[in-house]
Amino acid sequence: MALGDLPTGEEKRVRVQDMFDRIAPRYDALNRVMSMGMDQRWRRRALDKVDVGEGDSVVDLACGTGDFCELVESRGARVVGVDFALQMLKQGQGRGLAHPAVQGDGEWLPFQTASVDVVTCGFALRNFVTLDSVLHEIARILKPGGRAALIDVDRPAWGPIRLAHSLYFDRIVPLVGGLVSDRKAYAYLPQSTAYLPPPDVLREMLSGAGFLEIDRESLFLGSAQILTGVRGPLMPDCETNS
């Protein structure tokens, strides 16, 4: 699907929020099956890359049902989850997870400027309405020297692998998702990769938001990616939110 065929602006915000509320009950199980169990491995890899450990304060953006938050807490760090889909947060509470979680949008995070050590985000970059604004907001709440670790899907570059990946991601994933959960939602999720900018543009966006030491690691033959960066010095006009 071309980007022109996908929702944008406020329509995207409403449709994506409604979609994740609908699929929340079966979201975790389907993630494990459709990533062949590798989604948690990728989250652990992302936490390793930014050295999350005891004493760190972490915000997990688009936390969903709490997968990233659970891994962060297992390392002795403090974490707050943020997601705009209320049913996702309720599903996390139903799993017995104890971390604080708030309903919120990535473009307006309810944290003070330069107040956290790490921001994580798993498989959500393509779901934000204005990714550039979200990256600036992530940078705002990070302390100078704070770290960001962002995971999302990708498309393999090499022809045969790209074809096999497309068959699985574009055909099988929607089929299985439709049988078990929500057909429209799991048709949209592969199509939503069209929202993701190319790697060089993502790097430029992170740099423009104030990040240094930007790194991109390709995973599983190019089907996923981890972006990391270190927050540079605060700008003099940086505002403080309560």
- Lookup: tokens for 38: 């590798």
* pTM (two decimals): 0.93
Domain membership flag for residue 127: yes
Give the per-residue pLDDT at 242: 43
Q: CATH no. for residue 134?
A: 3.40.50.150
CA–CA distance, 125 with 132 (Å, rounded to integer): 10
> What is the domain count for the chain?
1
Which one, of 61, 64, 67, lies nearest residue 20 by Cα? Answer: 64
For the cut 80, the answer to whether the pLDDT of residue 237 exceeds it is no
Give the per-residue pLDDT at 115: 98
For the cut 50, the answer to whether the pLDDT of residue 1 exceeds it is no
Domain membership flag for residue 241: no
Using one digit for the tens of pLDDT, what is the confidence trace for 134-146?
999 999 999 999 9
Domain interval for residue 44? 3-231
- Say if residues 194 and 6 touch (Cβ distance below 8 Å): yes
- The residues near 45 (Cβ < 8 Å, ≥ 6 apart) are 217, 219, 226
For the cut 60, the answer to whether the pLDDT of residue 83 exceeds it is yes
In the predicted model, what is the mean pLDDT of residues 50-79?
Answer: 97
CA–CA distance, 16 with 234 (Å, rounded to integer): 32
- Lookup: tokens for 2: 């071309």
183 vs 103, residue with greater confidence: 103
Domain membership flag for residue 236: no
